[in-house]
Amino acid sequence: MSDFDELPPSDRAKVYASPGVQVRFDAARCRHSGRCVLGAPEVFDTDARPWIQPGNADPEHVAEVVRRCPTGALHYLLADGPAEEPDRPTTVTPLPDGPLEIRGDLRLTGPWGEAREVPEVRAQLCRCGASANKPFCDGSHERIGWHDDRP
Ligand code: SF4
């Protein structure tokens, strides 16, 4: 993945920049796992404004923490470094009573105005059928009380 423009478009995505790294955050895809806040609290601080300040840590560390984001809400572009490599092999993990978590070399299609595939490396995809942000999970499984054993 070499450019934020390749990612699924989102009205809620914002870019936070420092000289060494840019971080793109798509609030519509965040499921609040907190891995970013735990991994780099000096960068990801929900009490600060802006809440993402990529200049507060080494760019490589920012990138490493962004790769922990399971939903793909976070992506990065290093000024002097490689683009994120997808996991190989691709893995698909059904989360208990929740979405499918996928990491790998993905091509997603969705209701993005034109029929096109977009590359991805991390995503949590809707499994309950109720998401308003398909193909992504938006947490609706919790709202409707969806369970794995429900048809
Ligand atoms: S790691 Fe990703 S999904 Fe989890 S809270 Fe941070 S941005 Fe949201």
Q: What is the pLDDT of residue 117?
A: 87
pLDDT in tens, 75-104: 999 999 899 999 999 999 999 999 999 999
Who wins on pLDDT, 150 or 146? 146
Asked whether residue 29 carries a pLDDT value surpassing 90, the answer given is yes
Question: Which atom of ligand 1 is closest in space to residue 29's alpha carbon?
Answer: 3
Report the SS3 class of residue 74: strand
Q: Compute CA 57 distance to the chain's CA centroid, rounded to the nearest angstrom.
A: 20
Q: State mean pLDDT over 40-62.
A: 98
Q: How far apart are CA 25 and CA 61, in angstroms?
A: 17
Identify the residues whose C-beta falls under 6 Å from ligand 1.
30-36, 69, 71, 73-74
Distances (CA, A) of 76 to 15, 121, 123: 9, 12, 15
Tell me how far the alpha carbon of residue 112 lies from the centroid of ligand 1, in angstroms.
23
Paired with 26 in beta bridges are: 13
Confidence of residue 2 (pLDDT cuts 50, 70, 90): low
List the residue whose alpha carbon is closest to atom 4 of ligand 1.
33
Domains in the chain, please, with CATH? 4-78 (3.30.70.20), 91-144 (3.40.5)
Nearest atom within ligand 1 for CA of residue 31: 3
